[in-house]
Amino acid sequence: MAEKVLEKCRIKLRDGLTEPVIKSLSDHLQEENVLGKEEVEEILQRTKTRTDQARDLIDSVVRKGSKASEILLKCLEKRDKYVYDSLNIDSYSAIQEAGATSSHPTITTDKPNTTTEEYKMDSYPRGLCVIINNETFKNPERKRNGSQKDVERLKSLFEYLGFLVEIKKDQTTSEIKQLMIDYSKDHRHGDCFVCCVMSHGNENGVEGCDAKVLASGDEQMCPLNDIISPFDGDKCTSLIGKPKVFFIQACRGHEMQSKVLVADGPGSSRIQTSGTKYSIAKDSDFLIAMSTVEGYKAIRNKNNGSWFIQSLCNHLEDGSKRGQDILRILTKVNDEVSRAEGIIVEDNKTIDAKMTPQPYFTLRKLLVFRAPKAAASK
């Protein structure tokens, strides 16, 4: 029986589920009337750890019996194929017996890892990846040494992932704004648009290389909205229903995050389906991953590049090979960067360097970056 499979896989499943997947599974189980609204709210309580949420989800479904357990496993196969495959479900004869007697189809692992729950990602090239790197500013002391390492890593990664990569260096505020408008009208868009912006910044946006100090004492900024809004559904119809991804490496304030001690426990792009048209909000399908939370500095190593971009590239390359979705990957990035340790000397003071990235998203499906077969085989 399927619930027996869940019981045997309980520990591995508990440790493998990420918070976004737990939320997605809970929502689906509520839609399928496996779990009630109050049960889902109890599972997803903010005061609970990720491990506790996963444990409560599994136990709640197991108590519902075989059909409920089978629905959970089928949903898991769609939402996190990597974790699903790691359970080796086919090795349990019980699940095969359940498939022979149940009105539900037998769960198998030989299906392709693309579903209507996942954005289409098979065009070639996949789409455009624009890298804006503001390295040199009017004040020579503000040069962003090390940012070229980020450019090289991003270029290598997104070319491997099948994107057409274009690099723009040392753009003024007005040039950044115009670039976004021009790219929103570009005829070369594929299944996805990616934009990486690396510069100085604060809570109001990112700096152009010509940044001026205003009468208020603040630097002139290119607001984040001016970077993102040209790609919404009203202005960029060629990307309607397709993911628009922005990675922003910039400070968002002047403070350094403090650290606390943690005791860890064990550890389709087309807007048409079955001939029926539907509408989506114009601000749908965006992912904006910021290098740090508002009010704080983003850390960059002058020799090796920024903490956020380097961690992002490493995990995205590995995750793409495993079929992991971007939210799972960004959770790993958050964890790695949050654990990183460094020292910064400012005004003859030694400061502990700590930071954590922050993603925002209006994605409607799983976003999995898939390298073309020729690249993946290298």
Spatial strand order in the sheet of 244-249: 164-169, 127-133, 192-198, 244-249, 286-290, 358-361
Q: What is the pLDDT of residue 90?
A: 61
Residue range 182-189: mean pLDDT, rounded:
96
CA–CA dist 254, 219 (Å, integer): 13
Q: What is the pLDDT of residue 224?
A: 94
The band of 271, judged by pLDDT with boundaries at 50, 70 and 90, is very low
Q: Which residue has the tokens 């630097």?
A: 219
The band of 236, judged by pLDDT with boundaries at 50, 70 and 90, is very high
Claim to verify: residue 193 and residue 230 sit in the same structural domain: yes
| Least confident stretch, 14-18, 144-148, 188-192, 275-279 | 275-279
Claim to verify: residue 175 and residue 40 sit in the same structural domain: no
The structural domain count of the chain equals 2
Catalytic residue among 200, 209, 236, 313: 200
CA–CA dist 335, 356 (Å, integer): 8
Active site residue 75: no
| Least confident stretch, 248-252, 269-273, 291-295, 320-324 | 269-273
The beta strand positions in the chain, using DSSP E, are 127-133, 164-169, 192-198, 201-202, 205-206, 244-249, 272-273, 276-277, 286-290, 300-301, 305-306, 342-346, 349-353, 358-361
- Residue 62 resides in a domain: yes
Claim to verify: residue 87 and residue 157 sit in the same structural domain: no
Claim to verify: residue 96 and residue 134 sit in the same structural domain: no
Asked whether the predicted pLDDT for residue 107 surpasses 60, the reply is no
Better-scored residue on pLDDT, 123 or 114 = 123
From residue 283, give the alpha-carbon distance in Å to each of 53, 361, 366: 30, 10, 17
Claim to verify: residue 180 and residue 133 sit in the same structural domain: yes
Claim to verify: residue 186 and residue 241 sit in the same structural domain: yes
Q: What is the pLDDT of residue 214?
A: 55
- Residue 110 resides in a domain: no
Q: What is the pLDDT of residue 274?
A: 41
Q: What is the pLDDT of residue 345?
A: 73
Residue range 330-350: mean pLDDT, rounded:
86
Q: What is the pLDDT of residue 294?
A: 92
The band of 104, judged by pLDDT with boundaries at 50, 70 and 90, is very low
Asked whether the predicted pLDDT for residue 176 surpasses 90, the reply is yes
Mean pLDDT of the chain: 83
> Under 8 Å CB-to-CB from 276, ≥6 apart: which residues?
none
Asked whether the predicted pLDDT for residue 342 surpasses 90, the reply is no
Q: What is the pLDDT of residue 377?
A: 58
Better-scored residue on pLDDT, 131 or 112 = 131
Count of residues making up the chain: 378
User: Which one of 74-83, 181-190, 282-291 scores highest in mean pLDDT?
Assistant: 181-190
From residue 187, give the alpha-carbon distance in Å to each of 128, 153, 371: 10, 26, 22
Domain interval for residue 83: 2-101
- Residue 269 resides in a domain: no
CA–CA dist 356, 197 (Å, integer): 18
From residue 93, give the alpha-carbon distance in Å to each of 4, 75, 96, 98, 99: 10, 20, 5, 9, 10
- Residue 267 resides in a domain: no
Question: Tens digits of per-residue pLDDT, 116-145?
Answer: 589 999 999 999 999 999 999 988 889 999
Burial 343-357 (b: 16+ CB within 10 A, else e): eeeeeeeeeebbbbb
| Least confident stretch, 30-44, 141-155, 202-216, 281-295 | 202-216
Catalytic residue among 192, 196, 251, 313: 251
- Residue 60 resides in a domain: yes
Residue range 178-201: mean pLDDT, rounded:
96
CA–CA dist 371, 149 (Å, integer): 22
Claim to verify: residue 183 and residue 44 sit in the same structural domain: no
Claim to verify: residue 209 and residue 315 sit in the same structural domain: yes
Q: Which residue has the tokens 């503000």?
A: 142
Asked whether the predicted pLDDT for residue 95 surpasses 50, the reply is no
CA–CA dist 235, 184 (Å, integer): 7
Asked whether the predicted pLDDT for residue 99 surpasses 60, the reply is no
Phi, psi of 312 (to 5 degrees): -55, -50
CA–CA dist 43, 55 (Å, integer): 9
The band of 245, judged by pLDDT with boundaries at 50, 70 and 90, is very high
Q: What is the pLDDT of residue 5?
A: 79
Question: Which of 66, 84, 101 is the C-terminal boundary of a domain?
Answer: 101
Residue range 167-185: mean pLDDT, rounded:
96
Angle CA 206–212–214, to nearest 5: 100
87: domain CATH number is: 1.10.533.10
**Which of 355, 359, 358 is CA-nearest to residue 341?**
355
The beta strand positions in 184-341, using DSSP E, are 192-198, 201-202, 205-206, 244-249, 272-273, 276-277, 286-290, 300-301, 305-306
Claim to verify: residue 178 and residue 241 sit in the same structural domain: yes
Q: What is the pLDDT of residue 111?
A: 41
- Residue 270 resides in a domain: no
Contact 202, 221 (CB under 8 A): yes
Q: What is the percent of the chain where pLDDT is above 90?
A: 48
In three-state secondary structure terms, 166 is strand
Q: Which residue has the tokens 């496993």?
A: 73
Claim to verify: residue 137 and residue 24 sit in the same structural domain: no
Claim to verify: residue 137 and residue 21 sit in the same structural domain: no
| Least confident stretch, 16-25, 134-143, 227-236, 275-284 | 275-284
CA–CA dist 291, 188 (Å, integer): 28
Active site residue 187: no
From residue 9, give the alpha-carbon distance in Å to each of 2, 75, 202, 287: 11, 16, 46, 32
336: domain CATH number is: 3.40.50.1460
CA–CA dist 300, 302 (Å, integer): 6
- The answer, yes or no, to whether the previous bond of 125 is cis (omega within 30 of 0) is yes
- Residue 264 resides in a domain: no
